Amino acid sequence: MRKKFKMLLLAIGALTLFSACSSTQSDIRGEGNQRALAMAASKTLKKPIIYEKKWKTTGKVAMMDTFTDGKVEGEFRRYYLNGNLIMRGYFKDGVVDGIWEDYYPNGKLIMSGYMRGHKKIGKWKYYDESGKLLGEVPYDQIPKEIIDINQTNLANFWKDIKSGK
């Protein structure tokens, strides 16, 4: 009985937190704790919980994850400050599994392919900044300049997240 009461209190606290966060713009610096609470709430409540974080400076979505039974499940997205996607992928039972896409700041694809068990599999398509398909090869054969652009974009995204933009 005592354990059920604690679980109920945790669930009520999580729901209160999420309802408060949904009505106000959140500060991206608190991302880690709120994301962990969403993960825990999905396990406690036994239903999917969508975690969404907004950029403080623009009010646009920065991150979106769905948690089921304490794990990332289904589509996840990350966004540039301008609102365009930076990346999108899929999880199954907390493991990357499915289509993976990375984008330029202008919204055009950089590369796309498939991942299974956190590993890049099969052929990946890569594109120039105008969206023109440049090739389709195994991931390890994508030209270094395309990989470098993607890594720079991701590094800047995480730098902006940490700075509280």
Q: Which helix (H) or strand (E) holds 2?
A: helix 2-23
Give the residue numbers spanning the domain of 128.
Answer: 2-163
Number of domains in the chain: 1
Nearest to 79 by CA among 152, 149, 157: 157
Amino acid at 56: K
Q: Which residue has the higher pLDDT, 33 or 84?
A: 84
Q: What does the pLDDT look like over 85-95, one tens digit per residue?
A: 999 999 998 89
Q: Strand, helix or coil at 79?
A: strand
pTM more than 0.75: no
Q: Which residue has the higher pLDDT, 84 or 22?
A: 84
* pLDDT (mean) for 90-115: 94
CATH number for position 14: 2.20.110.10
Amino acid at 22: S
Helices 31-45 & 2-23, crossing angle to 10 degrees? 130
Q: What does the pLDDT look like over 47-81, one tens digit per residue?
A: 788 888 889 899 999 999 888 888 888 899 999 99
